[in-house]
């Protein structure tokens, strides 16, 4: 039993927070040093551009936060310019992570939050990485198992990769 000086840590919330930190780390790698023209790169007439994908990721984390707050709301945001969408990406991750860290009631199922918005965002980060390679702006591969991913570190400032290839 926890005493008044101990807090009870919810392992599901901590795993969600680690997943959000992972999204920040891996997403940051795809966003860092992307050339200006990458934002509007398009594979075909019906494919999303990187800036549209990034806006969708921001929408996913706005949705995740609304679920956690108990007021599930979806919004398809109009994409901003690339730099503003990058800022929005980190701001949305931070807002969601801050809520998870707050200890306030989690009004959504932790597993559903993972399988929905978080897993979807990882898919889209993979799309951005693939699009960067196709657009001629290759990124180094990395052993993500060895990456220094820290719960709560959800901004652009990340530890340098430990093992790239």
Q: In this predicted structure, what is the pLDDT of residue 162?
A: 86
**pTM (2 d.p.):** 0.93
Are 27 and 89 in contact by the 8 Å Cβ rule? The answer is yes
Domain ranges of the chain: 11-31+59-146
Q: CB atoms < 10 A from the CB of 116, how many? A: 16
Q: In this predicted structure, what is the pLDDT of residue 7?
A: 59
Are 51 and 31 in contact by the 8 Å Cβ rule? The answer is no
Q: Is the pLDDT of residue 150 over 80?
A: yes
Give the separation between CA 65 and CA 73, rounded to whole angstroms: 9
> What is the per-residue pLDDT across 109-137, written as a single tens digit (0 to 9) for each?
999 999 999 999 999 999 999 999 999 99
* DSSP secondary structure, 123-156, as one string: HHHHHHHHHHHHTT-----B-GGGS---TT--SS
Q: Region 130-158: what's the mean pLDDT?
A: 95
> What is the per-residue pLDDT across 42-84, written as a single tens digit (0 to 9) for each?
999 999 999 999 999 999 999 999 999 999 999 999 999 999 9
């Amino acid at each position: 039993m926890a005493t008044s000086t101990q807090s009870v840590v919810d392992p599901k919330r901590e795993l969600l927070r680690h997943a959000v930190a992972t999204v920040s780390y891996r997403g940051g790698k795809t966003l860092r040093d992307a050339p200006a023209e990458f934002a509007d790169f398009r594979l075909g007439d019906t494919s999303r551009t990187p800036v549209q994908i990034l806006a969708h990721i921001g929408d996913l984390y706005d949705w995740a936060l609304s679920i956690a707050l108990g007021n599930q709301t979806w919004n398809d945001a109009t994409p901003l310019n690339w730099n503003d969408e990058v800022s929005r990406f980190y701001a949305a991750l931070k807002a969601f992570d801050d809520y998870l860290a707050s200890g306030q009631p989690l009004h959504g199922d932790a597993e559903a939050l993972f399988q929905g918005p978080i897993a979807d965002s990882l898919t889209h980060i993979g799309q951005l990485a693939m699009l960067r390679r196709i657009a001629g702006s290759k990124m180094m591969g990395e052993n993500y198992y060895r990456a220094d991913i820290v719960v709560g570190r959800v901004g652009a400032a990340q530890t340098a990769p430990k093992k790239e290839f």
